[in-house]
């Protein structure tokens, strides 16, 4: 009896792991590519190795962009409408329910983490705030040359889920997400997102 339970638990955990990988890969393969403005914060973790802790311009959105009258609480899920700017995508509206959008817009789903004391700004997270990179590379991306610009290529699927597709330095891909991890781009290419 215990053997069957243990086997069931192992099979269930394996299926959950494959489902998580499958959902992420589906988002990366079917999502609309966008480019987000970002800055790197604290790129190393004692337990996890090198990673980029990312803060996006869309993590803080003025409350005046809320398009409905429903109250907003911490942990609420909001749908953020993004529109392509030059070159970064920018937040234009917030909704409690996924809205209809124009062809030149995307909707990304975020969780409210906080709000300013004067309630003028919502802070959201999208599940793309951390990106693990090869060991020893974190400091290079944290402290690029003074003229270098770090940006993140993201894909957003039709449900509002987001995934990091690439890390770009000066518009050229440095790291690209693949099915079984990520790799350093051997010949950096330009970005058309």
Is 36 inside any structural domain? yes
What are the distances in angstroms from CA 4 to CA 14, 16, 20? 15, 18, 24
> What is the domain count for the chain?
1
Question: Tokens for 89?
Answer: 């995508």
Is 155 inside any structural domain? yes
Q: What global pTM score does this model have?
A: 0.74
Is 16 inside any structural domain? no
Is 190 inside any structural domain? no
Is 18 inside any structural domain? no
Sequence-ordered strand ranges (E) for 104-190: 105-115, 121-125, 130-132, 150-156, 162-169, 172-178, 181-184
Is 88 inside any structural domain? yes
Cα gap 53→138, rounded to integer Å: 10
Domain range for 71 is 31-184
Is 63 inside any structural domain? yes
Per-residue pLDDT tens digits of the chain, which is 193 residues long:
678 888 888 888 888 887 776 667 766 677 889 999 887 765 554 445 566 788 999 999 999 999 988 888 999 999 999 999 989 999 999 999 999 999 899 999 999 998 876 778 999 999 999 887 666 655 555 545 667 788 899 999 989 999 888 888 888 888 787 655 545 444 333 444 4
Is 13 inside any structural domain? no
């Amino acid at each position: 009896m215990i053997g069957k339970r243990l086997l069931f638990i192992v099979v269930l955990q394996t299926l959950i792991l494959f489902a998580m990988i499958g959902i992420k890969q589906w988002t990366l393969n079917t999502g609309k590519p966008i480019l987000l403005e970002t800055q790197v914060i604290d790129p190393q973790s004692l337990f996890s190795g090198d990673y980029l802790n990312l803060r996006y311009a869309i993590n803080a959105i003025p409350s005046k962009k809320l398009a409905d009258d429903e109250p907003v609480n911490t942990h609420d899920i909001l749908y953020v409408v993004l529109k392509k700017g030059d070159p970064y995508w920018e937040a234009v509206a917030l909704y409690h329910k996924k809205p209809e959008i124009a062809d030149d817009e995307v909707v990304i789903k975020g969780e409210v983490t906080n709000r300013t004391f004067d309630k003028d700004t919502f802070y959201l997270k999208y599940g793309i705030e951390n990106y693990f990179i090869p060991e020893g590379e974190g400091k290079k991306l944290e402290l690029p040359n003074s003229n270098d610009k770090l940006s993140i290529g993201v894909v957003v699927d039709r449900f509002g889920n987001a995934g990091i597709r690439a890390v770009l330095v000066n518009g050229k891909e440095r790291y690209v997400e693949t099915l079984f991890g990520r790799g350093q781009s051997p010949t950096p290419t330009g970005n058309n997102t």
